[in-house]
Chains A and B, each alone.
Chain A
Amino acid sequence: AQSVTQPDIHITVSEGASLELRCNYSYGATPYLFWYVQSPGQGLQLLLKYFSGDTLVQGIKGFEAEFKRSQSSFNLRKPSVHWSDAAEYFCAVRKNTGFQKLVFGTGTRLLVSP
C-alpha cells in the first residue's frame, strides 16, 4: 500500500529565510506526487505536481519541489518565506495507473516569525 511520511509536524521559519519541507513516500513504482497548501479554515490549494521528466518542478507562489527517486522523496522548497506562507502543507501521492485516490501525509504546519 502507498504511504506518505511528512516527518515534521511543525516548522518555524523567520520571514525571508529559506524553507524546506520534507516528504517521503512508499510505493512500488514512481507515483504521481503533489503538494497542497491549506490555510486555516480553507480547502486545499494545489502548489505543484510531478508526473515524470525534469525532477525539479516549479509551482505557484514561488515554491519548487525536487523528486529524488533514490531517496523516495519529494521535498518542497522556497528560497524566501513570506508571512502569508504560514499554513499547513500536505504532500500527496497517487498511483500512476488505475484508481485515482490521493494518499496524503499528515501535514506540516508552517509558522513564520517576524
Chain B
Amino acid sequence: EAGVTQSPTHLIKTRGQQATLRCSPISGHTSVYWYQQALGLGLQFLLWYDEGEERNRGNFPPRFSGRQFPNYSSELNVNALELEDSALYLCASSPAGRGKETQYFGPGTRLLVL
C-alpha cells in the first residue's frame, strides 16, 4: 500500500511569489492535514480537509489556503510568500471511520523563500 505522497520535494521561491504544494493521501483515506515545521517553531497545525471541505485551520494568516479534490488529494497554496514561510510542510492523512484517530505523514515539501 502506497503511503502519503507529496510534491515537489523541494521548492525555491522569492518573497512575494506564490507556492503550491500537493499531497496525495493513502488510498481510502478521506481526511488530509497540513502541518508546518519551521526552524525553532516546531510542528504546527495548518489546515484540515475532510470530504472536500475545510474543517479547521490553525493560527495562520489567510494567505495560507488550500483545497481538497474529489479524489481526496489536496493542495496547499501560500500567497505573498515571506521569508519566514521557509519550512518543511508536512501532509498527513487519516481514514474515515475506524482508524480515523491516527494520522500518517508524507515525506514533506521543503519550501525555501529567498
Residues of B contacting A104 with CB < 8 Å? 42-43
Contact with A along B40-57 (1 / 0, CB 8 A): 001101001000000110
Main secondary structure of the interface of A (DSSP, over half): loop
The stretch that binds B, out of A10-18, A42-50, A67-75, is A42-50
Residues of A contacting B30 with CB < 8 Å? none
Number of chain B interface residues as a range: 20 to 34
The answer on a CB contact under 8 Å between A51 and B43 is no
Q: Which residue of B lies closest to A99 (CB)?
A: B56
Residues of B contacting A90 with CB < 8 Å? 43
The answer on a CB contact under 8 Å between A100 and B100 is yes
Residues of B contacting A51 with CB < 8 Å? 101
CB neighbors of B among A46-86 (8 A): 46, 49, 51
- Seen from chain B, the residues whose Cβ lies within 8 Å of a Cβ on chain A are 4, 6, 31, 33, 35, 42-43, 45, 48, 55-56, 58, 90, 92, 94, 100-108, 110
